[in-house]
């Protein structure tokens, strides 16, 4: 199957119209010619007959075919003249071998003779009958010849029109080709919009839409590059730590020193692994297409309880009171794995910043019809200077300094991306008893469809 | 030699303190820019290892503040920012050297020594005073042709004294060269180290100028 081409289609359409139109035009020309020729020829038949009627025709036969009234050009028009006496005897014949015998019908008539049809003009004089005749076919041939002469210019016009149309269409399509070539040269680095000047009005909407797509692509590429640059930068710190820890282990000889150095190295490896996992999780959840098919109706209360069970041992080791606070059985449409990742990140953060004896709550409730998931603690809270940047990738709040277990700075960025994919909003509020912080994820109303990202 | 480390990454910080202490430096470690600035205002450090991405005050601002206050302490920037513009900005702000993360511990130590050597005006780094020869990079001391074995603190004391042979070095300066903040020196430990040093090198080599300090007699 060939791809449809506007140029080919238009050209073919026009050629069909011309090919049907040209014979129709020729036929019309033929008819007009024939009518005209009939008029002229009838007239000349009549003139010849009247002339012949007044002539003295005695002895004319002897002159054997030399007709006094018919010129040599009449031979081409196959005119033939006959004169007879009233009694039917032949008085004169322009071509004696064609001594035709027509009925004496006065004026114009069409009669059969010798297997042919003839146009006959008859004049009845007192002593004779004069008839001038011409085969009907002669007139038709003449009309056909004239009409066929028209065919050549017509064909030329058809060919010229076709060529012109092809050229005009090619010219008209040129901006498209230029735009196409410009696009073909583009790489992932050049996503600037196409120039709109010279683009025909018919193509403008298409090019505009294309430009919008390019813009979105450019934003996505820039975002990805930024992410990659950030990630590469952030990987440097744990790698530096690992390299130093390995070198220290190498040059520690005392068993106690070695044990301490090897613990440090293990912690460094753990931190590296955690960062890589977080990076993967972020890249997975920021993949462009929303995996709506993995969305199912799920119970936020159950989710909150399962997360508490997962973290309870670690919380107890650090003497933090971790619990679920399920006030309503809220349901949302969502991806269970992603929402678990979201809660894991929130709980991990809360545990990191809450000191021994503190409290962390995983909350599921419905606020004025809106399903809400939240993690609240009574830790140090978030410094006002950090508020604006806390959801940025790799941003670590000032409270993280000197903290025994440093985070990757990706947790809240992951939370934000996952929330966005669920059409939910993330907001910060004062935490338990007015201290600490509550990170709140507010979903859309249960019945509202999740958004297309 | 007493170093100040300004680094917010706890793992890197712990490893650097351990690695630098192992080769005889005494290291003070702070985790944010503001603390770094106040530590530097005491003028007790020979060299600062400075990270750029720091909370409360970034490394570049700290560096500009330090240089603006006519403090010419040696500064070695250690940073994960690898762009040429960032490195140029660091050097323009007054850094003496720029080392990119991740780095090798030995390279860091070599660069620290190189900077300190340039400051004392000796290109090879080997200090010579009378019959004594001290090589900081190989950590060896020769008296004549005999190699003398010294502890890290004894070595640091001798190094400080040998930088200005014959000149009187104050008691505080000597203490600073061997103690970090965490060490909490007892009032007479400097004398203990000096006592052992005298025993190893000869009693009349290090003279006490009462109420002022000590001097290397060559």
Question: DSSP string spanning B41-102?
Answer: TT---SEEEE-SS-SSS-HHHHHHHHHHTT---EEEEEES---HHHHHHHHHTT-SEEEESS
Does residue A383 register a pLDDT over 60?
yes
Token pair in block for residue A179: 């735009």
CB–CB of A236 and B101 under 8 A? yes
Q: Residue A337: pLDDT band by 50, 70, 90 thresholds?
A: confident
Model confidence over A67-112: pLDDT tens digits? 444 554 556 677 888 888 888 777 777 776 666 777 888 888 888 8
Does residue A244 register a pLDDT over 80?
yes
Share of chain A above pLDDT 70, in %: 87
Mean pLDDT for chain A overall? 81
Q: Are strands A107-113 and A116-124 parallel, antiparallel or unpaired?
A: antiparallel
Token pair in block for residue A221: 């590429």
Distance from the Cα of B169 to chain A's closest Cα (Å) equals: 33
Answer whether A239 touches B (CB < 8 Å). Answer: yes
Chain A residues whose beta carbon lies within 8 Å of the beta carbon of residue B12: 237, 240-241, 244
pLDDT at position B39 = 92
**Each residue of A167-206: b (16+ CB within 10 Å) or e?**
eebeeebebbeebeeeeeeeeeeebeebeeeebeeebeee
Model confidence over A230-239: pLDDT tens digits? 777 778 888 9
Q: Are strands B26-30 and B2-6 parallel, antiparallel or unpaired?
A: parallel
pLDDT at position B47 = 94
Of the two residues A304 and A127, the one the predictor is more confident about is A304
Nearest CA to B198 out of B178, B215, B175, B179 is that of B215
Question: A131, A122 in Cβ contact below 8 A?
Answer: yes
DSSP state of B188: T
pLDDT at position A7 = 76
Q: What are phi and psi of A238, to 5 degrees?
A: -60, -35
Mean predicted confidence (pLDDT) in A427-434: 86
Of all helices (H) and strands (E), which one includes residue A48?
helix A6-54
Is the four-CA dihedral A401, A404, A410, A413 of positive or negative sign? negative
pLDDT at position A56 = 65
Q: Residue A364: pLDDT band by 50, 70, 90 thresholds?
A: very high
Does residue A373 register a pLDDT over 90?
yes
Question: A52, A69 in Cβ contact below 8 A?
Answer: yes
Query: Rg of the Cα trace of chain B?
Result: 18
Distance from the Cα of A356 to chain B's closest Cα (Å) equals: 20
Query: A52 to each of A47, A62, A69, A83, how far by Cα in Å?
Result: 9, 16, 7, 8
Question: B80, B93 in Cβ contact below 8 A?
Answer: no
pLDDT at position B42 = 86
How many CB pairs below 8 Å do chains A and B form together? 68
Model confidence over A270-323: pLDDT tens digits? 888 888 887 887 777 665 545 566 788 889 999 999 999 999 998 999 899 999
- Positions in chain B short of pLDDT 50: none
Distance from the Cα of A202 to chain B's closest Cα (Å) equals: 47
Residue identified by tokens 């006496």 is: A85
Of the two residues A255 and A185, the one the predictor is more confident about is A255
Chain A residues whose beta carbon lies within 8 Å of the beta carbon of residue B105: 243-244, 247-248
pLDDT at position A447 = 54
Question: B168, B212 in Cβ contact below 8 A?
Answer: yes
Does residue A268 register a pLDDT over 50?
yes
Q: Residue A57: pLDDT band by 50, 70, 90 thresholds?
A: low
Chain B residues whose beta carbon lies within 8 Å of the beta carbon of residue A240: 9, 12, 80, 101-103
Cβ contacts of A48 within 8 Å, gap of 6 or more: A69, A70, A74, A79, A81, A121, A132
Which of A236, A264, A406 comes nearest B15 by C-beta? Answer: A264
Does residue A396 register a pLDDT over 80?
no
Token pair in block for residue A53: 């009627």
First and final C-alpha spacing in chain A: 36
Chain A residues whose beta carbon lies within 8 Å of the beta carbon of residue B15: 241, 244-245, 248, 264
Answer whether A408 touches B (CB < 8 Å). Answer: no
A-interface mutation test, from B81, B101, B107, B152, most A Cβ less than 10 A away: B101
Chain A residues whose beta carbon lies within 8 Å of the beta carbon of residue B18: 248, 261
pLDDT at position A451 = 46
Does residue A402 register a pLDDT over 50?
no
Is the four-CA dihedral A205, A208, A214, A216 of positive or negative sign? negative
Nearest CA to A394 out of A192, A241, A238 is that of A238
Does residue A362 register a pLDDT over 90?
yes
Chain B residues whose beta carbon lies within 8 Å of the beta carbon of residue A401: 8, 31-32, 55
Answer whether A262 touches B (CB < 8 Å). Answer: no
Token pair in block for residue A278: 């977080």
Chain B residues whose beta carbon lies within 8 Å of the beta carbon of residue A239: 101-102
pTM equals 0.57
Q: Residue A2: pLDDT band by 50, 70, 90 thresholds?
A: low
CB–CB of A244 and B105 under 8 A? yes
């Amino acid at each position: 199957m060939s791809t449809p081409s506007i140029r080919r289609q238009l050209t073919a359409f026009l050629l069909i119209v011309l090919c049907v139109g040209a014979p129709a035009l020729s036929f019309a020309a033929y008819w007009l010619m024939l009518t005209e020729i009939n008029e002229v020829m009838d007239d000349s038949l009549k003139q010849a007959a009247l002339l012949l009627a007044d002539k003295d025709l005695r002895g004319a036969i002897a002159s054997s075919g030399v007709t006094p009234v018919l010129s040599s050009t009449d031979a081409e028009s196959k005119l033939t003249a006959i004169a007879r006496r009233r009694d039917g005897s032949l008085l004169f014949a322009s071509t004696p071998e064609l001594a035709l015998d027509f009925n004496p019908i006065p004026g114009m008539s069409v009669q059969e003779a010798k297997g042919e049809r003839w146009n006959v003009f008859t004049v009845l004089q007192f002593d004779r009958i004069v008839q001038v005749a011409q085969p009907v076919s002669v007139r038709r041939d003449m009309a056909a010849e004239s009409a066929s002469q028209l065919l050549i210019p017509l064909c030329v016009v058809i060919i010229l029109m076709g060529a012109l149309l092809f050229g005009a269409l090619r010219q008209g399509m040129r901006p498209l080709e230029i735009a196409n070539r410009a696009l073909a040269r583009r790489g992932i680095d050049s996503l600037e919009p196409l120039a709109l000047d010279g683009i025909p009005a018919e193509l403008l909407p298409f090019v505009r839409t294309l430009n919008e797509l390019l813009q979105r692509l450019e934003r996505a590429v820039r975002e990805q590059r930024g992410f990659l640059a950030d990630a590469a930068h952030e990987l440097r710190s744990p790698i530096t730590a690992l390299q130093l820890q390995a070198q220290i282990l190498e040059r520690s000889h005392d068993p106690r020193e070695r044990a301490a150095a090897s613990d440090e190295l293990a912690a460094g490896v753990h931190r590296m692994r955690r960062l890589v996992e977080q990076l993967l999780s972020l890249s997975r959840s920021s993949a462009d297409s929303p995996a709506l098919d993995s969305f199912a109706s799920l119970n936020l209360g159950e989710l909150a309880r399962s997360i508490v069970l997962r973290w309870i041992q670690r919380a107890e080791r650090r003497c933090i009171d971790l619990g679920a606070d399920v006030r309503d059985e809220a349901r949302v449409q969502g991806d269970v794995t992603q929402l678990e990742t979201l809660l894991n990140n929130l709980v991990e953060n809360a545990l990191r910043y809450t000191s021994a004896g503190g409290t962390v709550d995983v909350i599921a409730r419905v606020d004025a019809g809106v399903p809400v998931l939240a993690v609240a603690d009574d830790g140090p809270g978030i410094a006002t200077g950090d508020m604006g940047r806390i959801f940025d990738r790799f941003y670590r709040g000032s409270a993280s300094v000197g903290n025994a277990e440093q985070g990757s700075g990706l947790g809240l960025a992951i939370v934000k991306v996952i929330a966005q994919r669920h059409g939910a909003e993330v907001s910060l509020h004062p935490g338990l008893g007015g201290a600490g912080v509550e990170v709140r994820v507010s979903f859309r109303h249960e019945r509202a469809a999740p958004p297309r990202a | 030699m007493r170093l100040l480390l300004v680094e917010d990454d706890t793992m890197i910080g712990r490893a650097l303190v351990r690695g630098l202490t192992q080769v005889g430096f005494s290291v003070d470690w702070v985790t944010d820019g503001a603390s770094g600035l106040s530590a530097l205002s005491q003028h007790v450090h020979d060299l600062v290892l400075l990270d750029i991405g720091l909370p409360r005050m970034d490394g570049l601002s700290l560096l500009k503040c330090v240089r603006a206050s006519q403090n010419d302490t040696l500064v070695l920037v250690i940073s994960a920012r690898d762009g040429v513009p960032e490195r140029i900005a660091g050097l323009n702000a007054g850094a003496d050297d720029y080392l990119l993360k991740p780095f090798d511990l030995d390279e860091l130590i070599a660069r620290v020594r190189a900077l300190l050597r340039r400051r004392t005006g000796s290109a090879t780094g080997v200090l010579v005073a009378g019959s004594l020869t001290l090589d900081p990079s190989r950590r060896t001391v020769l008296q004549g042709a005999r190699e003398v074995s010294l502890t890290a603190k004894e070595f640091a004391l001798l190094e400080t004294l040998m930088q200005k042979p014959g000149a009187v070095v104050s008691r505080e300066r000597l203490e600073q060269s061997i103690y970090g903040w965490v060490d909490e020196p007892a009032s007479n430990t400097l004398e203990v180290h000096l006592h052992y040093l005298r025993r190893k090198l000869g009693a009349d080599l290090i003279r006490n100028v009462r109420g002022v300090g000590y001097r290397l007699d060559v």
